A and B are shown apart, each in its own frame.
Chain A
Amino acid sequence: MATQEARRTMAEATDKKAYVDPRPPVIGPGYDFNSLTNKIADIVLMRRFQKGWVFGFGIAFLGALLLFNTIAYLVLKGVGIWGNSVPVGWAFDIINFVWWIGIGHAGTLISAILLLLRQSWRNSINRFAEAMTLFAVACAGLFPALHTGRPWLDYWLFPYPNTMGMWPNFRSPLMWDVFAVSTYATVSALFWFIGLIPDFATMRDTAKQKWQRSIFGILSMGWRGDARHWHRYETAYLLLAGLSTPLVLSVHSIVSYDFAVGIIPGWHATIFPPYFVAGAIYAGFAMVLTIGIPVRKFYHLEDFITLRHIRNMAKIMLATGLIVGYGYLMELFFAWYSGNTYEQFMMKNRMYGPYGYMYWLLILCNILVPQLLWIKKFRENLFVVFLVSMFINVGMWLERFVIIVMSLNRDFLPSSWRMYTPTVFDFSMFFGTIGFFLTLMFLFIRFVPMIPIFEMKALLPQSKVQESKEDEKAKGSEPLGGALPQFGD
């Protein structure tokens, strides 16, 4: 698809010879096919491990070990090791689930939606974002699976024929969650893997070691760069992109139903689906930047992840952040306009109750700080963008705390009101997943080409020359309509 797109862009360029793209390119100058392949493939194929990588991986892996230990203890003892209680039946477990799922949204959005919208600048960050999605979904999936009282019976949530004659309850949003998240995880994994096949083939061909060649050979599934391969590849990729696009919207909508379908004030709100989706994209881009900015620096990928990428992502964050802010505003409005005593109390309690500081921190992190991105200078300042993205990461976590814990801890009957206090295991589980996530990211960076080589090649001027010739032959058979405007300055 990407090549196709490049082809089409080129075709357009040949049609309107006078047109010169005024925007900075999305790939640095001075690369040819070879140097590009080497630059990206070397990170994977080099023999030694860099000290920085080993150090980072070591720390992250300690976090992962913390997670594994916590899980072992959790399964042995029960969810009572956490601070959850009655009335706060869900706390860190579901907060973390929603937080991770939200983070997992950027990958699919970048890969699928931006692909369909022909935002070719996405080419350098999509694999990276997809991997992030996959790992975030893996972390997210841990929580609903382990938060149940008897995790070994989780499979009862799946509709499968059984001798008990029992069927799950299709009225329950948790049931919908099972489908939404598992579908999302499957499609994301497929999408990621299919996108990797041509690059695995490149790696196979570039690798010097025999074992490397055989592993990459297996992974590339017999890819030879045949035209028919390319044709099928692009059809499959396009189909998967089409499949993933509604998923970006559906997953977090369904996650939001967990709350919106509930009766609890602070949960029961119709605005939740769009507001959650926007929040997810917001969080996802923040995480892409949080990881991307340091990686760009350490692996000297400034030529592939350019300032234009950073700027574009900052703009998306700004836009989705405003949608999220609108969501907060609407919650306030609904509480006032409904005249419902529970809703009104809930909003007052959020702002002035015992956890009020959490709400104001949320406003600071998610609404106030990101407004810096209106200013172009800040959008281009890597440090500021990184800082803002960190604020958003924290803010999105706080948002879920506000929604989940602060709605549950004071609902209808004041006799059941109770404060929630997390335990050390709540934190070890949370930080453990961060460690696990980073572990996977480190492994990904080291063992898989983190930037799609072939898609980057398509962005090189070299490919355009050749393709324009091909393109002339193929003229008239162009499957897609006219050019879409490119996002960004």
Chain B
Amino acid sequence: MRQEIEEAARGRSGREFWRSLEELADTEKFRTFLHREFPALNAPEADPAMLDPTGRRNFMKLMSASLAMAGLTACTRQPKEYIVPYVKKPEGMVPGKPAYYATSMTLGGVAQGLLVRSNEGRPTKIEGHPDHPGTMGGTDVFAQASVLSLYDPDRSQSVTYLGDFRTWGDFVTAFRSALDGQKPRQGAGFRILTETSTSPTLAAQMQKVMAEFPQAKWHVYEPATRDGAREGARLAFGEPVHAVYQLDKASVLLSLDADFLTNGPGAVRYARDFVARRRLTGGAKEMNRLYVVESTLSTTGAKADHRLPLKASDVLSFARAVAAGCGVDAGAPGPLSAEAKKMAEAVARDLKANPGQGLVLAGEHQPAAVHAIANAINAAVGAIGSTVILTDPIEVQPVDQAQSLAELVRDMNAERVDLLLILGGNPVYNAPVFKDEKSGKALTFLDAMQKVGLRVHLGLYVDETAEHCQWHVAEAHYLESWSDARTHDGTACIIQPLIEPLYRGKSAHELLAVVGNEPGIPPYDLVRNYWKGQLGESFEQTWRQAVHDGFVASTARAPKAVALRSDWAATLPSSPAKSGQEIVFRLDPSVYDGRFANNSWLQELPKPISKVTWDNYAIVSARTAASIGLSPNDEPYHANAKMVRLVHEGRELSMPAWVQPGHPDDSVTVYLGYGRTRAGSVGTRLGFNTYTLRSASAPFIATTGVRFEVGEGNYQLASTQEHFSISTSDIKSDFMIPGEDLEARHIVRTASLADYQHDPHEALHHGAHKPGKELTVFTPWKYEGYAWGMAIDMNACVGCNACVVACQSENNIAVVGKDLVTKGRIMHWLRIDTYFKGGAVNPEVFFQPMMCQHCENAPCEVVCPVNATVHDAEGLNVQVYNRCVGTRYCSNNCPYKVRRFNYLLYGDWDTPSLKNVRNPEVTIRSRGVMEKCTFCSQRIMAGKIEAEKQNRKVKDGEIQTACQTACPTEAIIFGDLNDPESRVAKLKLEPRNYDVLADLNTRPRASYLAAIRNTNAELGNGHGNSHDGHAGGAKNHG
């Protein structure tokens, strides 16, 4: 082959030479040659030696490659590229105008409906799908960030065998022959492992496979299992029914360690429905009430009207106490604190007082017993059929995943498996630790897997699992392939691709087609053919509509009439008598189970509440930290977290401790998903692998053989916000001056619902000062046309971070990395400030999204020496990047500190694939300029142009900022203040409306609606009030 190239080259000269070589380089043949000869050029992750950027071997390989390819690399001329004008423009395609397509992303198997923006054929931005039953227009962080994963240059890019590049054809041949070997044994040695799936097409394909290999087994596993819920339903109702909550109908909610607002199926929809009952706008005076009993302080806990920190293992006792109060016999609760008992009684009374409007939700990682009790209480208070609807399961294989995986490991360990097909997932990394039945020793998934003859892995990355499988097939991203899935209520969604697979990845459907001996059918046909069989009459029309809408209308699961079994409580385990130390495993709020580890947007996303980026850590309460000798950090600002050594069943892990207000004592929460060894250039070797501590027997709450003690050394965590309470408290008292409080700043305004109903102004704004408009030396601006403004409802904000990632995606915001986050250089234009109120034991938590406030009297505008930040006729504070010389005076003078400076060249200007993810409407900022929120001026422009074309004014809601469209709860509303009928103008007249730092007379265009807590008078004001006695209403201060 090389000779061919050289010969071809020798025969030509001058310009022709280069062109022909490149033409040559473009052929399939040449590419195969290149892959075989120089694997390093294309997929550095294929070879561990290549991971070390300074490795000598790496250097030598690249050197030899570049010498051989000198014809290509030494070329100083621009490469010859062909532009192809549209001879006939495709219909509906306007160059420069984005198109939107409906599709869905699955997480934990459950679909989240999306609209994806495509600029000239490149998907660039994920938007919510307003008509989708699973989201109602919101999104979560993972969906927002998924577009970056699509273009991730570290993604697996080909089929490999033992790390060498192969073609898809090679793979099919080899795989088919292995399957043929299984044929005579009816697939007895054949196992398929998938993640949770709700795809009807996949189910149909699996049926076919199972028919062909009746002895084969299909196992399902992923770390975020819903085994507890499934088993709890089986205990209560006799079958694993799936619960769909109707939160908009619920007036009293009890969360038993359930983070239902940001986690689990339907969270986006649930957040929307939950907040619908808390809006308090347009004269509404009533709210729902949320009680949260939880171990780890979650965003749901932060929204609670009453929250009780309770060890995860004690939640069962609490559930029993509530059940007893509701007249349900669920067994005797274990010992509970007086506070917990009081709360349980109050909750039970509240639930009983609101029949048919109460709802108890159990956390997915809580054991089956808690779910069973929650179901029983729901049945008792008339919730079933009203606030909770039970349906058939939405998963295609509703098995107990822990058991399913254990069974697979047992079979593999006994060498009963010859062929293992892993469709997605990364079990080598994220499976728990098993016990060898014979020897009693710890057994990892990898140990067992290596006893399998042939291992085939389909995955987006060459990850830990791919590393130990002979065959690896690059998977197609969901934006690249056809599939289908169900949303939380069972509605079937069609997943349509927006782009050809970038790296010729394959979907699970294509692999299963090979197993089913029908290779070569494109995935489009696989999905379409399935639905052809389902939709029957008038298929074409329905299909077109379904693909257009992103979901198949009226396919939601029908409610299922099931009754509580009479003996449901018989098999429940007894409550723990006295609980010792426990370790709680939770999915990471940013990288989930570790699958998003290589997504830098998510890595740099400050985790809700702790605001830590790029790491995981062990969360402990202040009291526990003190009791095990982790005295409160003596260094300011968590700069150096102390290490804590966690021991579970003899396995040890040292990780940095994070003292979290509101965490129960004697409990440690660790996030899963870090400590990856083969994640890619971003995610490898970040944080600590907590899967190594996790046992198959106790996947979420480990209580036996648990110990934690002070570890050695310190660890640098990169947090973007320091934690200060707005009231006097013991939170971070080391760094606050004793007796100092921040209430006089009136940053967060809050009141109880009762006080608010009584006198909103007195309750919220007492003591706050807002100077008159005339108090400025500059001539006030006049806004004749539009006057853009924003209102942010702190009662609605659940702190989920979707807006932060949406902003990053829309505005091409750079990622700076952990070191620079530590230095205070994070570039997010929008951040979510978290404030505590009350003591460290159980504080109230408030979220305040903070971005450029677009002040009418902007302090930044006055001080810029070169007029780079100026006021526009519509009230926007405009940053002119071209003009900015970077004095940073504007940032210094900004009271909200929302400006971000490019201290270094942060943007990745080189990686070709990452160029595609950028929004072409927004400039990439260079080094040395200031940037900040623009209220998405590119969207405002687009909206105005559209309106002007039709010779009308922009309609309210026509222009939506990126944060607004991403928000699951419509907490952010943008619009024209000059239009008295606009939503934002009306919100600004609400009694809850206030400006942050109004006393500075900056006249911000963004204002906030105060947070109201619907407290139960029986339990006193605010969160558990047994602590320091400082928690209370806003203090009066001039």
**Contact call A167/B895, Cβ cutoff below 8 A:** no
Question: Which single residue of chain A is at the shortest CB-CB distance from B722?
Answer: A417
**Contact call A353/B737, Cβ cutoff below 8 A:** yes
Give which listed residue, A84, A148, A174, A264, contacts B928 with CB less than 8 A.
A148
**Contact call A157/B865, Cβ cutoff below 8 A:** yes
Measured CA separation A240–B542 after assembly (Å): 90
Measured CA separation A84–B883 after assembly (Å): 21
- Contacts of A86 on B, CB cut-off 8 Å? 824-825, 891, 897, 899-901
**Contact call A419/B897, Cβ cutoff below 8 A:** no
A interface footprint on B506-544 (CB within 8 Å = 1, 0 otherwise)? 000000000000000000000000000000000000000
Measured CA separation A413–B853 after assembly (Å): 13
How close is B269's CB to chain A, nearest CB, in angstroms? 30
- Contacts of A481 on B, CB cut-off 8 Å? none
Which of B177-185, B424-432, B758-766, B856-864 forms part of the interface with chain A?
A: B856-864
- The yes or no answer to A89 lying at the interface (CB within 8 A) is yes
- Contacts of B737 on A, CB cut-off 8 Å? 345, 348-349, 352-353
- The yes or no answer to B954 lying at the interface (CB within 8 A) is no
How close is B448's CB to chain A, nearest CB, in angstroms? 48
Measured CA separation A411–B726 after assembly (Å): 14
Which of B392-400, B546-554, B624-632, B740-748 forms part of the interface with chain A?
A: B740-748
Question: Which single residue of chain A is at the shortest CB-CB distance from B886?
Answer: A149
Give which listed residue, A174, A408, A421, contacts B887 with CB less than 8 A.
A174
How close is B668's CB to chain A, nearest CB, in angstroms? 27
B interface footprint on A376-418 (CB within 8 Å = 1, 0 otherwise)? 0000000000000000000000000000000010011111111
Give which listed residue, B862, B865, B929, contacts A168 with CB less than 8 A.
B865
How close is B838's CB to chain A, nearest CB, in angstroms? 16
How close is B114's CB to chain A, nearest CB, in angstroms? 31
How close is B833's CB to chain A, nearest CB, in angstroms? 4
Highest count of chain B CB atoms <10 Å: which of A77, A84, A89, A154? A89
- The yes or no answer to A329 lying at the interface (CB within 8 A) is no
How close is B859's CB to chain A, nearest CB, in angstroms? 5
B interface footprint on A330-364 (CB within 8 Å = 1, 0 otherwise)? 00000000010110010011001110000000000
**Contact call B863/A419, Cβ cutoff below 8 A:** no
A interface footprint on B824-856 (CB within 8 Å = 1, 0 otherwise)? 110000010111000000000000101000000
- Contacts of A148 on B, CB cut-off 8 Å? 885-887, 928
- Contacts of B820 on A, CB cut-off 8 Å? 80
Name the interface residues of B625-666: CB closer than 8 Å to any CB of A: 636-637, 639
Knowing A86-B891, A412-B1000, say if A175 contacts B865 (CB, 8 Å).
Answer: yes
- Contacts of A413 on B, CB cut-off 8 Å? 747, 833, 850, 895-897, 996-997
**Contact call A85/B825, Cβ cutoff below 8 A:** yes
- The yes or no answer to B884 lying at the interface (CB within 8 A) is yes
Measured CA separation A8–B721 after assembly (Å): 69
- The yes or no answer to B207 lying at the interface (CB within 8 A) is no
- The yes or no answer to A83 lying at the interface (CB within 8 A) is yes
How close is A219's CB to chain B, nearest CB, in angstroms? 36
Measured CA separation A421–B904 after assembly (Å): 17
- The yes or no answer to A307 lying at the interface (CB within 8 A) is no
Highest count of chain B CB atoms <10 Å: which of A85, A151, A264, A354? A85
**Contact call B865/A408, Cβ cutoff below 8 A:** no
**Contact call A157/B824, Cβ cutoff below 8 A:** no
Knowing A154-B885, A345-B740, A353-B737, say if A78 contacts B928 (CB, 8 Å).
Answer: yes
**Contact call B825/A169, Cβ cutoff below 8 A:** no
- Contacts of A274 on B, CB cut-off 8 Å? none
- Contacts of A349 on B, CB cut-off 8 Å? 737
Measured CA separation A171–B904 after assembly (Å): 28
**Contact call B867/A149, Cβ cutoff below 8 A:** no
- Contacts of B353 on A, CB cut-off 8 Å? none
Knowing A86-B901, A147-B887, A413-B833, say if A419 contacts B896 (CB, 8 Å).
Answer: no
Name the interface residues of B744-801: CB closer than 8 Å to any CB of A: 744-745, 747
**Contact call A150/B639, Cβ cutoff below 8 A:** no
Measured CA separation A353–B737 after assembly (Å): 7
Question: Which single residue of chain B is at the shortest CB-CB distance from A421?
Answer: B823
B interface footprint on A417-437 (CB within 8 Å = 1, 0 otherwise)? 111110000000000000000
**Contact call B636/A264, Cβ cutoff below 8 A:** no
B interface footprint on A169-191 (CB within 8 Å = 1, 0 otherwise)? 10111110010000000000000
- Give the A-B pair count, Cβ closer than 8 A: 179
**Contact call A411/B862, Cβ cutoff below 8 A:** no
- Contacts of A341 on B, CB cut-off 8 Å? 744-745, 1037
**Contact call A418/B892, Cβ cutoff below 8 A:** no
**Contact call A168/B866, Cβ cutoff below 8 A:** yes
- The yes or no answer to B902 lying at the interface (CB within 8 A) is yes
- The yes or no answer to A327 lying at the interface (CB within 8 A) is no
How close is B277's CB to chain A, nearest CB, in angstroms? 28
Question: Which single residue of chain B is at the shortest CB-CB distance from A175?
Answer: B865
**Contact call A172/B891, Cβ cutoff below 8 A:** no
A interface footprint on B862-886 (CB within 8 Å = 1, 0 otherwise)? 1111110000000000000001111
Knowing A172-B862, A412-B997, say if A87 contacts B824 (CB, 8 Å).
Answer: yes
How close is B2's CB to chain A, nearest CB, in angstroms? 40
Measured CA separation A445–B274 after assembly (Å): 78
Question: Which single residue of chain B is at the shortest CB-CB distance from A169?
Answer: B867
For chain A, give the interface size range: 35 or more
- Contacts of A169 on B, CB cut-off 8 Å? 862, 864-867
Give which listed residue, A84, A90, A415, contacts B850 with CB less than 8 A.
A415
**Contact call A149/B740, Cβ cutoff below 8 A:** no
What does DSSP make chain A's interface, helix, strand, loop or mixed? loop
**Contact call B833/A80, Cβ cutoff below 8 A:** no
- The yes or no answer to A484 lying at the interface (CB within 8 A) is no
Give which listed residue, A156, A262, A352, contacts B893 with CB less than 8 A.
A262
Measured CA separation A77–B906 after assembly (Å): 11
A interface footprint on B808-832 (CB within 8 Å = 1, 0 otherwise)? 0000000000001001110000010
- Contacts of A411 on B, CB cut-off 8 Å? 895, 897
- The yes or no answer to B889 lying at the interface (CB within 8 A) is yes
Knowing A85-B823, A413-B897, say if A262 contacts B865 (CB, 8 Å).
Answer: no
- The yes or no answer to A443 lying at the interface (CB within 8 A) is no
How close is B908's CB to chain A, nearest CB, in angstroms? 15
How close is B679's CB to chain A, nearest CB, in angstroms? 26
Question: Which single residue of chain A is at the shortest CB-CB distance from B862?
Answer: A171
**Contact call A167/B834, Cβ cutoff below 8 A:** no
Measured CA separation A348–B742 after assembly (Å): 13
Question: Which single residue of chain B is at the shortest CB-CB distance from A164?
Answer: B883
Give which listed residue, B835, B899, B902, contacts A149 with CB less than 8 A.
B902
Highest count of chain A CB atoms <10 Å: which of B742, B892, B927? B892
Measured CA separation A174–B893 after assembly (Å): 13
B interface footprint on A119-160 (CB within 8 Å = 1, 0 otherwise)? 000000000000000000000000000011111011011000
B interface footprint on A240-276 (CB within 8 Å = 1, 0 otherwise)? 0000000000000000001001111000000000000
Question: Which single residue of chain A is at the shortest CB-CB distance from B636?
Answer: A354
**Contact call B722/A418, Cβ cutoff below 8 A:** yes
- The yes or no answer to A480 lying at the interface (CB within 8 A) is no
**Contact call A418/B637, Cβ cutoff below 8 A:** yes
**Contact call A89/B901, Cβ cutoff below 8 A:** yes
- The yes or no answer to A375 lying at the interface (CB within 8 A) is no
**Contact call A80/B825, Cβ cutoff below 8 A:** yes
**Contact call B637/A414, Cβ cutoff below 8 A:** no
**Contact call A414/B742, Cβ cutoff below 8 A:** yes
- Contacts of A79 on B, CB cut-off 8 Å? 886, 903, 928
How close is B901's CB to chain A, nearest CB, in angstroms? 6
**Contact call B1038/A78, Cβ cutoff below 8 A:** no
Measured CA separation A441–B893 after assembly (Å): 37
Task: Kindly list 6 other residue pairs between chains A and B, CB separation below 8 angstroms, not including A78-B905, A156-B866, A172-B862.
Answer: A84-B888, A147-B887, A261-B863, A354-B636, A413-B896, A414-B724
Enumerate 10 A-B pairs (CB-CB under 8 Å) in ascending A order: A85-B823, A148-B928, A150-B885, A169-B865, A172-B864, A261-B862, A261-B863, A349-B737, A352-B737, A415-B722
* 4 cross-chain pairs, A with B, having the tightest CB-CB distances, nearest first: A149-B886, A149-B928, A85-B824, A80-B903
Q: Which chain A residues have a beta carbon within 8 Å of chain B's beta carbons?
A: 77-90, 147-151, 153-154, 156-157, 166-169, 171-175, 178, 258, 261-264, 339, 341-342, 345, 348-349, 352-354, 408, 411-421
